[in-house]
Amino acid sequence: MEKVKIGIVGCGNISSIYLKNCSQRFEILEVAACADLLPERAEASASEFNIPKACSVDELLNDPEIQIVVNLTVPKAHAEVCLAALEAGKNVYVEKPLAVTRQDGKKILELAKSKGLLVGSAPDTFLGAGLQTCRKLIDDGWIGEPVAATAFMTCHGHESWHPNPEFYYEIGGGPMFDMGPYYLTALISLIGPVKRVTGSARITFPERVITSQPKYGTRIKVETPTHIAGVMDFENGAVGTIITSFDVWHANLPWIEIYGTQGSLRVPDPNTFGGPVFVRRMGANEWTEIPLSHGYADNSRGVGVADMAYALLSGRSHRANGEMAYHVLDIMQGFLDASESGMHYNLSSSCQRPEPLPIGLSDGLLDY
């Protein structure tokens, strides 16, 4: 199989699973180099995963063999690194969110288009077994026409476990920009794009205290809303409700449920790749667990990069694409804009519902 060489920029918390899967699992990918602002961190990652080269970001971007740059930097650096990679002639795949402002997101897509390059973006969890099973159930008519959806992500923030949690409370952080992409991407893949949103948002605790190591006791100024409630009007007429919060100690809520004209679908955690998936059809007395129809039920981060590599070689569309990521960004910012203005926000963007994965793929492959 022809391989696509990739370089990974950013060797922080999330990089390990990308490095593992992209170097060992997906046959189409070859990790040629990794880079980080801290050279010792890049060297440690290269050593652990047998990556040929640990280098500076500039060296990685100027490596003529690298075709895709995987950008795993913190959100506020996403646009800068993506734009630099595109200027260097590289296709780019970025961790979520695509960018922290619509302006930066548009710059990324416009530059890529002008250079004939691809943009991909996490999350790719919608390509996992759980959400692909849900997609098949909806497409096969198990719940009829989707009428409404609910989505909930509630916790009390990440400062109790993350070693460097400050960025979660900066502009471009918060529960919506941190976790919203998982939920919104799942909903778009299942129901389709959104045309209008409204929302309310607040900062509950102006200051947070880190209780994880190594920064125990450090105080964080909160600069972005930490509880956001949004309503979405989908293009197909369905109405969605979402709450994301870093202000909730305890809750007993589903991750996502989709309600149709002939039944209801309980969707698994969209921050994972597996199940369980439950359906309760019209007239049924209880929920029924549905066997997973697709592969990639374990932590398969990087599957979106692999799918993009197939697209690069074949010319087909890739599923975790920049247009959908920008639409998610537009929705998230729309909730905040609506909260500030007291008015609905009509989306300036749209996207195609991504194609489902084929059934029966061997692990490590994305096409037959």
User: From CA 29, how far away is CA 306, in angstroms rounded?
Assistant: 6
Is pLDDT of 336 > 90? yes
For residues 150-173, give the mean pLDDT. Answer: 94
Is pLDDT of 171 > 90? no
Is pLDDT of 368 > 90? no
> Is the CB of residue 117 less than 8 Å from the CB of residue 96?
no
For residues 86-104, give the mean pLDDT. Answer: 97
> Which residue stretches of the chain are H helix?
15-24, 39-49, 57-61, 78-87, 102-115, 129-139, 174-190, 303-314, 322-341
Residue 11 token pair: 């060797």
What was the pLDDT predicted at 1?
A: 82
Q: Who contacts 282 (Cβ-Cβ below 8 Å, separation ≥6)?
A: 144, 262, 263
**pTM exceeding 0.85:** yes
User: From CA 205, how far away is CA 265, in angstroms rounded?
Assistant: 35
**What percent of the chain has pLDDT above 90?**
97
Average pLDDT taken over every residue of the chain: 97
Q: Who contacts 142 (Cβ-Cβ below 8 Å, separation ≥6)?
A: 260, 262, 263, 265, 279, 281
| Pick from 149, 173, 184: nearest CA to 324 | 184
For residues 283-298, give the mean pLDDT. Answer: 98
Q: Who contacts 211 (Cβ-Cβ below 8 Å, separation ≥6)?
A: 159, 160, 217
Residue 19: burial class (beta carbons within 10 Å; 0-12, 13-18, 19+):
buried
> Is the CB of residue 260 less than 8 Å from the CB of residue 146?
yes
Rounded to 5°, angle at Cα 98 from 332 and 232: 25
Q: What are phi and psi of 164, to 5 degrees?
A: -135, 70
- Indicate the residue type of 280: R
For residue 270, say if its preceding peptide bond is cis, omega within 30 degrees of 0.
Answer: no
- Indicate the residue type of 23: S
CATH of domain 4-121: 3.40.50.720
Q: Who contacts 360 (Cβ-Cβ below 8 Å, separation ≥6)?
A: 368
Residue-wise pLDDT tens digits, 5-63: 999 999 998 999 999 999 999 999 999 999 999 999 999 999 999 999 999 999 999 99
User: From CA 61, how far away is CA 32, in angstroms rounded?
Assistant: 11
Residue-wise pLDDT tens digits, 189-233: 999 999 999 999 999 999 999 999 999 999 999 999 999 999 999
Domain spans in the chain, listed from the N-terminal domain onward: 4-121, 126-290
Is pLDDT of 266 > 90? yes
CATH class label, 126-290: alpha beta
- Is the fold of 4-121 the same as that of 126-290? no
Residue 251 token pair: 């809750």
Q: Which residues on neighbouring strands pair with residue 88, listed in sequence order?
A: none
> Is the CB of residue 93 less than 8 Å from the CB of residue 302?
no
pLDDT tier for residue 172 given thresholds of 50, 70 and 90: confident
